[in-house]
Structure 1
Amino acid sequence: MSLTLNEARARAAMLSEVSYDLTFDVTSPDDFRSQVAVRFDTTGGDTFLELHQATSIDVTVDGETITPAYDEKRITLEGLTPGTHEVVVDARLRYVTDGEGMHTFTDPVDGERYVGGYLGLDITQRLFACFDQLDLKAPITVTVLADPEWTVLSNGRLTKAKSGRFEFATTPPIPCDLLAVAAGPYASVTWEHRGVPMGWHARRSLAAELNRDAAELRRVTEVCFDHYAKIFTEPFPFDSYDQVFVPDLNWGAMECPGCVTWNELMLPRGRVTDDNRRRRAMVVAHEMSHMWFADLVSPVWWEDAWLNESFADYMGFEVAEFAAGYAGTRVSFEAAYKPGAYLADRRRSTHPVAPAAQDVPDVDTATTIFDRISYGKGNAVLRQLVTWLGTEDFLSGVNAHLTRHRFANATLEDLLSALDAASPRDVRGWAQVWLRQSGHDTIKVSRAGDVPVFTREGVRPHRFTVAAYTPSLEPVGERLVDLADEPVALPEWAGLVVVPNAHGETFARIELDPFSYDIVVRDLAALSDPLVRAVLWATLLDQVPPAAHLDLVARQLPRETSSTLVAAALDRTLKDLVRRALPPSDVPAALEVVAAACKLDGEPDEQRAIALAGGLAWSTSDAALLRRWLAADATDQGLALDPALRWATVRRLAELGGIEAAEIEAERLRDGTAGGDLGAVTALAARPTAEAKAEAWAAMTGDVSVSRFRALAEGLWTLSQRELVTPYVAAYVAAAPALARRGSAFAAVVGKAFPAFPLTSDELDLVRDALRGDIPAVLRREWEDELDDRAA
């Protein structure tokens, strides 16, 4: 039973002045105790608290014990009189291993136990009884009973820790789904900056990695903090700022006020690449910006989730690049993130960046809009807004908005009012075409004689950079252009190659004129600016047919100097071309093309060598080469195999039938970590035997965690083993709906476990038939997107 918009509106009209006093007892490894005192004012009548599948429950209302109606989802509160009430719910709840609720994890390295409350849409109720909606923000006071030797973190500053009782300061009003709890024997690096206690934390077995990166993590945190202190007039809203790498988080990070939770993949074992550092700096900036957009000012309902995510995504890339000093962060956005937003905007599931409230009628629907539209497209659209308005007017409106609605809730209309007051431009007209309508325009280049002429197919005003080059791709100049209804001609650049949106300021499809297209396709790697190359790599890979895609990779990838662009091109080739577009009979030849393009002979640039080695690891059919890598723990050129590259090598060797279960188990023991366990799971499932596939499928349909299911699916659907896995296509379609009902995160991983090769018409009909039935919303979205992508 998902909370509906109408229910949320009715409850918000009835309740006010909500607060929570929480005590969690996580000392037992079997289940945990959740005690909450909920205080609120009401206009009177009936309402309900959400609480998911408590195994026992005691409820008092204003000190009197009651036996309420409870259906394992909602606690009914009947006949409340107008005024102030206190409801106390004392419950026992199960731990989870899927990252949705009070998650428990035992570290295979040292046997240590970790517990954490990982929340999100419809998940808070798995931790405590609550009014689980955004616009009933509340102060939260947390106490945790845990092992006295543990580190325990929550949103407020720790005020007392004695005999296993950890007490935290009361937060300002925040959405209850942003509560954070992290408990275990964490390794920590702590300090104070501008009066705010700060810390980075990781599992004890990752202490070496935390210490390795601690200086950089601290520097980035402080730089971002100082930057936001400069551009936002509202001060940092919370009393402390911890960032904790937690096991099995289902997303990259979560913006819990004062206590951001991070996926441990952001603290890699072994080598930390430049791309790793750029992405991590971007996420630091992204999550810290949420302290203002999401935490200080929150949406009223989920249709305005973009106000959280689009702003944070834009700020993340912008601040990492220009304030934190991670050059190339925007290159990574154009090459690796923005293409997915264009793809998403062409699917039937596309939606406006800012949909109407009625288009998000319940929380189940809301879980489907945290997607590449709300992130990648929203980021790009906001960048276009800043380009169009100017930074000064944009920040003036944003700051007025933040101050007006501090520790409260706000809507798109509230933001537009603030921007409209700050700018002479027609902000509402801009928002109508950019935020309220789905789809994107096309910017076309044609020639009037030799003169380049720009036209727009669509309805949106665009401001973007045009770059001009000689026919040998030497730079001539750049110009900011405004394009709307009327064509724009640039006669001074007659006879030159021209690239619209060369710096990625707008969100639109690009169609080069034939003259520019032919030269760019022939000599893309010769362009000196990696940002322009990023825009063009993304454009070409989006538009060329499979044969031309492979030809572009074969001719340009060996000459591409940016490791970011190499990695992005390889990733798109694997996911968009090899796995989705090519018939199985064409896959071996395509992999040979990729492997040849990833040749490592004499590569002097370590970052580029890392990206190429990763591509070679999944594309080569040379088992002897992979064997040599494992034996030397390095490539033939001496590049050390970090854990990720070593497991990629083992997996590909397993796909080729070149390694048996006993040796994979030896690799797992050699690794000795949770990541190694998952690497072994994937490799075992990838072996080309019927027995391996049967074992993988049985494990996938048993009692399995999200991360283990993902690892099994990656090994099951091996590209070169179509005949072996054909029986599991129908089995997957039949089993997926029930599996997806375990929770939204599990539903997402089940949907993403769609067979990684083209399906026959009969197999596609199985999916279409299943979609006519009762399918969880997240799974339905994933499957419909897969069908759309394969039909494109």
Structure 2
Amino acid sequence: MPGTNLTREEAQERARLLTVDSYEVELDLGGAQEGGTFRSVTTVRFDVDGDALSGASGTFIDLVAPTVHEAVLNGESLDPGQVFQDSRIALPSLVAGRNELRVTADCAYTNTGEGLHRFVDPVDDQAYLYTQFEVPDARRVFASFEQPDLKATFRFTVTAPEGWKVISNSPTPEPEGAAKNVWRFAPTPRISTYITALIAGPYHEVHSSWEGQGRTVPLGIYCRPSLAEFLDADAIFAITRQGFDWFQEKFDYPYPFEKYDQLFVPEFNAGAMENAGAVTFRDQYVFRSKVTDAAYESRSETILHELAHMWFGDLVTMEWWNDLWLNESFATYTSIACQVHAPGSRWPHAWTTFANQLKTWAYRQDQLPSTHPIMADIRDLDDVLVNFDGITYAKGASVLKQLVAYVGMDEFFSGVQRYFKRHEWGNTRLGDLLGALEETSGRDLTAWSKAWLETAGINVLRPEIETDASGTVTSFAVRQEAPALPAGAKGEPTLRPHRIAIGAYELEGGKLVRTDRVELDVDGELTDVPALTGRKRPAVFLLNDDDLTYAKVRLDAESLATVTRHLGDFTESLPRALSWASAWDMTRDAELATGDYLDLVLSGIVKESDIGVVQSLHRQVKLALELYAEPGSREAGLLRWAEAALEQLRAAEPGSDHQLAWARAFAAVARTDAQLGLLAGLLDGTETVEGLAVDTDLRWALLQRLAATGRAGEKEIAAELERDATSAGERHAATARAARPTAEAKAEAWASVVERDTLPNAVQEAVIGGFLQTDQRELLAPYTEKYFAVVKDVWEQRSHEMAQQIAVGLYPTLQVSQDTLDATDAWLAGASPSPALRRLVTESRAGVERALKAQRADAAAG
């Protein structure tokens, strides 16, 4: 990826020199049916600071394009051959005051999910386009000063095939011209380049509105016509209106844009993107088959997350990408708070999901060699591109949740309200938000910010309890530890201030019921808790009850013994989730043997009512058995898990979410002839499970396992693809083909991803997912050497998204051995990879190292 980077210093110098006023962007998409390139004409007006200009040698505008036809600066033609190099057009002859630049170029459609992505639906053979600009990809569509603090207004004019829908940040106008194929959009408010958007094609649309505070905001939902029958627009509108109601109350600032469209688009790399007034989502959120309630909860959180960005991120935007965490963490925190607190919410226990999934992600990320402070040091675009991680999203949101507990929810949102009013349409740094919160809460947040946002790593909290002969607590303290950071990580271990709750639980009628709760500040190495002394010791003391802080929590021996026997018996979902998360963390840290973790899950999961927790446990058990179990006992553990999954599938309530979840869990690990025969029977209809709908997506899950075990081949895959001749079917078929246990299938999958560069992003991802099968370690062993031979070239030649898929997805994660670590170390020492690639490979190496440690612990316990 040569020539596309931008350093923080370059961005600061450019912002010192100029202020951007407006863009007029004309795009001709009339040839979209043929693909290739499209004509882009950009006129940008900007002001140059005369004092800054006197010491500058000029500046540049960003553009990634095959061809620049013309560049005219202040009426003077520039020679494209001289001024256009890599991703920049040099602007050597600026004048103080107003400048005008016009750039005419041919820009390229992509199939990588970056810039202007072009997709042809196999169902109707129609082209569908959408933009994805975060972080630096507006420059793939129009010439722009590509950094978040150079905001401007944007006026788009689009020529597209007659009959298409064209959507952007401003309301869609009536098409003009004899062919009704020119759309002239009104200018946007002042926004950053990365949140501008264009979506075009023969999309299906549904419209409604939100009404409140004397205002009507038009709402739109779009998807491809081939998905229209599955689009549950009413449910999506309901969540959206709930978010509008709650956010406008809490933010005390009117929704900043004229309309709000939500567009479900194909082959999208992320979950969604907060384009101003035109949010794009991956269209897997339009569910073609039955899914559990956990999927609807996840979609709801994503919808609310993107809506929160309309204020935090779009109205008020970070100055530079080191505050990306604040954008994402704020949206994550407020989306889940909305799910919990909004009247009539379907998911009032959303903090359980947060603790069980997002915080688990954060804890994992924070123990990698690449761990970094929440407020990361983002030196350039390459840094930020690999920083959409568990610290940026989940640890940051966890810390915001702690901050809310620290300053008070009312005070927090009062500060946020001041922040929006004070900085509307501008750019800010972290201190701007903290300053507003200090005003409304009266707390000095300087020390808090330094400890939590400027240091890396995770703390461990342990209870220290003493009792007398009668069982009365005579001493209770919380010990805080700051473990050494992983080898290679920057920084020093840090003890932090924590706001936590401690819950006391008793067994009543076989259920663990909270009988007391104490909330306090924990700071330093040891914090006494006198409020818990002088009373009879309960069955369980649970630190960080209600999940207020971000820390790894350990149970004392007596509490651990009770929880081990009764984990599924907590009456509330959140303490169960916290206990499950602690057990999983102990397994990953080699403090709990994999076999013991399996025992714990099998004893408690049958009592777990939260479907999201159940599905997380399914994933974690499978991962533990495949990577953390001692190799000699791996197969026995997987067989035991498969038998348990089948038993629970048959015992589950017909048609329930739990039944579907157990069906998928069983399909993922079925291994005996009888088990695989059942999968084949469910697929061809000779076997049934009462209430289980073997619909399109479940059929593919069954077939993919049969293909991976050699029980199905090309004939069966082709027949299923004919049955599901959609883009989703094509992806599923690609996974199944790559999963086949033959040298030929692996060679073809490898060649299609690594040796050729033609697959769309979503299909490449599907092939990689099928290629790596945990039952095929010996078959995949030769690809370790091949990976290290090509990964640097791939990184340098492919776009970021495509290269990252390969660098992470094809790393030999399944080859858990010292040889893999040695091969990685040799490559890191000799290949001189870029910092971003080095980070990704180092993270993958850490996974193998952790697995080796866990396998040794499992062997010692066995």
* Shorter-chain TM band: over 0.9
1:346 has 2:393 as partner: no
For 1:229, the equivalent position in structure 2 comes to: 248
Q: What are the ranges of 5 or more consecutive residues in structure 1 without an aligned counterpart?
A: none
1:608 has 2:632 as partner: no
Deviation at 1:268, TM superposition (A): 1.5
For 1:193, the equivalent position in structure 2 comes to: 210
- Aligned pairs for 1:494-509 (under 5 A) are 494-509=537-552
Would the aligned equivalents of 1:584 and 1:722 in 2 still touch at CA under 8 Å?
A: no
Deviation at 1:634, TM superposition (A): 7.7
1:256 has 2:304 as partner: no
For the residues of structure 2 that align with 1:205 and 1:72, how far apart are their CA atoms?
Answer: 39
Would the aligned equivalents of 2:813 and 2:844 in 1 still touch at CA under 8 Å?
A: no
1:110 has 2:130 as partner: no
Q: 1:232 to 1:757 in 2, by over 3 A?
A: same
For the residues of structure 2 that align with 1:775 and 1:207, how far apart are their CA atoms?
Answer: 45
For 2:19, the equivalent position in structure 1 comes to: 16
1:746 has 2:795 as partner: no
For 2:523, the equivalent position in structure 1 comes to: 484
**1:470 alignment partner, SS class:** strand
Which residue, 826, 838, 841 being the options, matches 1:769?
826
For 1:40, the equivalent position in structure 2 comes to: 46
Deviation at 1:493, TM superposition (A): 4.8
For 2:855, the equivalent position in structure 1 comes to: none
For 2:383, the equivalent position in structure 1 comes to: 365
For the residues of structure 2 that align with 1:314 and 1:126, how far apart are their CA atoms?
Answer: 32
Instruction: Write out per-residue CA displacement over residues 685-725 of structure 1, whole angstroms, 9 at most, x where no aligned residue.
Output: 11111111111111112122222221111111211111111
For the residues of structure 1 that align with 2:605 and 2:538, how far apart are their CA atoms?
Answer: 27
For the residues of structure 2 that align with 1:743 and 1:63, how far apart are their CA atoms?
Answer: 35
For 1:92, the equivalent position in structure 2 comes to: 106
For the residues of structure 2 that align with 1:413 and 1:633, how far apart are their CA atoms?
Answer: 65
Would the aligned equivalents of 2:220 and 2:261 in 1 still touch at CA under 8 Å?
A: yes
For 1:181, the equivalent position in structure 2 comes to: 198
Deviation at 1:364, TM superposition (A): 0.7
What amino acid does structure 2 have at the position aligned with 1:169?
A
Which residue, 478, 481, 484 being the options, matches 1:457?
481
For 1:145, the equivalent position in structure 2 comes to: 159
Which residue, 828, 840, 846 being the options, matches 1:788?
846
Q: 1:724 to 1:123 in 2, by over 3 A?
A: same
For 1:334, the equivalent position in structure 2 comes to: 355
Would the aligned equivalents of 2:784 and 2:812 in 1 still touch at CA under 8 Å?
A: yes
Deviation at 1:473, TM superposition (A): 4.5
Deviation at 1:78, TM superposition (A): 0.2
Deviation at 1:31, TM superposition (A): 1.4
For the residues of structure 2 that align with 1:560 and 1:589, how far apart are their CA atoms?
Answer: 24
What amino acid does structure 1 have at the position aligned with 2:685?
A
What amino acid does structure 2 have at the position aligned with 1:631?
D
Root-mean-square deviation (CA), in Å? 1.7
For the residues of structure 1 that align with 2:90 and 2:75, how far apart are their CA atoms?
Answer: 17
Deviation at 1:587, TM superposition (A): 3.5
**2:571 alignment partner, SS class:** coil
Instruction: Write out per-residue CA displacement over residues 302-347 of structure 1, whole angstroms, 9 at most, x where no aligned residue.
Output: 1111120010011111112321432332221111221110111111
**1:191 alignment partner, SS class:** strand
1:715 has 2:781 as partner: no
1:205 has 2:205 as partner: no
For the residues of structure 2 that align with 1:429 and 1:299, how far apart are their CA atoms?
Answer: 22
- Aligned pairs for 1:160-171 (under 5 A) are 160-162=174-176, 163-171=180-188
Q: 1:580 to 1:167 in 2, by over 3 A?
A: farther
For 2:696, the equivalent position in structure 1 comes to: 643
For 2:573, the equivalent position in structure 1 comes to: 530
Would the aligned equivalents of 1:286 and 1:315 in 2 still touch at CA under 8 Å?
A: yes
What amino acid does structure 1 have at the position aligned with 2:145?
F
More displaced stretch, 252-261 vs 10-19: 10-19
Would the aligned equivalents of 1:747 and 1:779 in 2 still touch at CA under 8 Å?
A: no
Deviation at 1:584, TM superposition (A): 5.2
Instruction: Write out per-residue CA displacement over residues 524-563 of structure 1, whole angstroms, 9 at most, x where no aligned residue.
Output: 1111111111111111011022121222222222332222
What amino acid does structure 2 have at the position aligned with 1:199?
G
Deviation at 1:447, TM superposition (A): 1.7
For the residues of structure 2 that align with 1:478 and 1:33, how far apart are their CA atoms?
Answer: 67
1:75 has 2:89 as partner: yes
Which residue, 138, 147, 169 being the options, matches 1:124?
138
More displaced stretch, 759-768 vs 511-520: 759-768
Instruction: Write out per-residue CA displacement over residues 622-659 of structure 1, whole angstroms, 9 at most, x where no aligned residue.
Output: 21011111012985233112333221111111111100
Instruction: Write out per-residue CA displacement over residues 357-377 of structure 1, whole angstroms, 9 at most, x where no aligned residue.
Output: xx2111111112221001011
For 2:857, the equivalent position in structure 1 comes to: none
For the residues of structure 2 that align with 1:776 and 1:574, how far apart are their CA atoms?
Answer: 33
Q: 1:478 to 1:152 in 2, by over 3 A?
A: farther
For the residues of structure 2 that align with 1:440 and 1:204, how far apart are their CA atoms?
Answer: 47
Which residue, 439, 445, 451 being the options, matches 1:433?
451
Q: 1:635 to 1:336 in 2, by over 3 A?
A: farther
Instruction: Write out per-residue CA displacement over residues 188-241 of structure 1, whole angstroms, 9 at most, x where no aligned residue.
Output: 11122232111011011111111xx11111111111011111111221111111
What amino acid does structure 2 have at the position aligned with 1:106?
V
For the residues of structure 2 that align with 1:155 and 1:634, how far apart are their CA atoms?
Answer: 51
More displaced stretch, 443-452 vs 196-205: 443-452
Q: Taking structure 2 as the reference length, what is the TM-score of the superposition? A: 0.89
For the residues of structure 2 that align with 1:18 and 1:133, how far apart are their CA atoms?
Answer: 14
Q: 1:634 to 1:237 in 2, by over 3 A?
A: farther
Instruction: Write out per-residue CA displacement over residues 672-697 of structure 1, whole angstroms, 9 at most, x where no aligned residue.
Output: 11111111111111111111111111
What amino acid does structure 2 have at the position aligned with 1:225?
F
What amino acid does structure 2 have at the position aligned with 1:767?
T
Would the aligned equivalents of 1:587 and 1:720 in 2 still touch at CA under 8 Å?
A: no
**1:80 alignment partner, SS class:** coil
Would the aligned equivalents of 2:122 and 2:727 in 1 still touch at CA under 8 Å?
A: yes
Deviation at 1:265, TM superposition (A): 1.3
- Aligned pairs for 1:389-468 (under 5 A) are 389-449=407-467, 450=471, 451=473, 452-458=476-482, 459-468=495-504
More displaced stretch, 481-490 vs 376-385: 481-490
What amino acid does structure 2 have at the position aligned with 1:601?
R
For the residues of structure 2 that align with 1:738 and 1:573, how far apart are their CA atoms?
Answer: 36
Would the aligned equivalents of 2:642 and 2:666 in 1 still touch at CA under 8 Å?
A: yes
Deviation at 1:789, TM superposition (A): 2.5
Q: 1:735 to 1:642 in 2, by over 3 A?
A: farther
Deviation at 1:520, TM superposition (A): 0.6
For the residues of structure 2 that align with 1:262 and 1:476, how far apart are their CA atoms?
Answer: 40
Instruction: Write out per-residue CA displacement over residues 66-110 of structure 1, whole angstroms, 9 at most, x where no aligned residue.
Output: 214111311001021111111011100121100011110000111
Instruction: Write out per-residue CA displacement over residues 264-309 of structure 1, whole angstroms, 9 at most, x where no aligned residue.
Output: 1111212142111111111111001101111011111111111200
Would the aligned equivalents of 1:751 and 1:779 in 2 still touch at CA under 8 Å?
A: yes
Deviation at 1:664, TM superposition (A): 0.6
Would the aligned equivalents of 1:562 and 1:608 in 2 still touch at CA under 8 Å?
A: no
More displaced stretch, 745-754 vs 530-539: 745-754
For the residues of structure 1 that align with 2:104 and 2:310, how far apart are their CA atoms?
Answer: 31
For the residues of structure 2 that align with 1:779 and 1:637, how far apart are their CA atoms?
Answer: 49
Q: 1:382 to 1:125 in 2, by over 3 A?
A: same
**2:174 alignment partner, SS class:** strand
Would the aligned equivalents of 1:285 and 1:316 in 2 still touch at CA under 8 Å?
A: yes
What amino acid does structure 2 have at the position aligned with 1:526?
D
Would the aligned equivalents of 1:628 and 1:636 in 2 still touch at CA under 8 Å?
A: no
For the residues of structure 2 that align with 1:3 and 1:181, how far apart are their CA atoms?
Answer: 24
Deviation at 1:585, TM superposition (A): 4.8
Q: What are the ranges of 5 or more consecutive residues in structure 2 without an aligned counterpart?
A: 483-494, 587-591, 851-862
Which residue, 220, 235, 238 being the options, matches 1:216?
235
Would the aligned equivalents of 1:266 and 1:280 in 2 still touch at CA under 8 Å?
A: yes
For the residues of structure 1 that align with 2:760 and 2:279, how far apart are their CA atoms?
Answer: 23
State, as a whole percentage, how many aligned pairs show the same letter: 35
Would the aligned equivalents of 2:318 and 2:429 in 1 still touch at CA under 8 Å?
A: yes
Would the aligned equivalents of 1:747 and 1:776 in 2 still touch at CA under 8 Å?
A: no
For the residues of structure 1 that align with 2:687 and 2:222, how far apart are their CA atoms?
Answer: 31
1:7 has 2:10 as partner: yes
- Aligned pairs for 1:237-248 (under 5 A) are 237-248=256-267
Deviation at 1:756, TM superposition (A): 4.1
Q: 1:670 to 1:100 in 2, by over 3 A?
A: same
Would the aligned equivalents of 1:664 and 1:684 in 2 still touch at CA under 8 Å?
A: yes
What amino acid does structure 1 have at the position aligned with 2:248?
A
Would the aligned equivalents of 1:24 and 1:33 in 2 still touch at CA under 8 Å?
A: yes
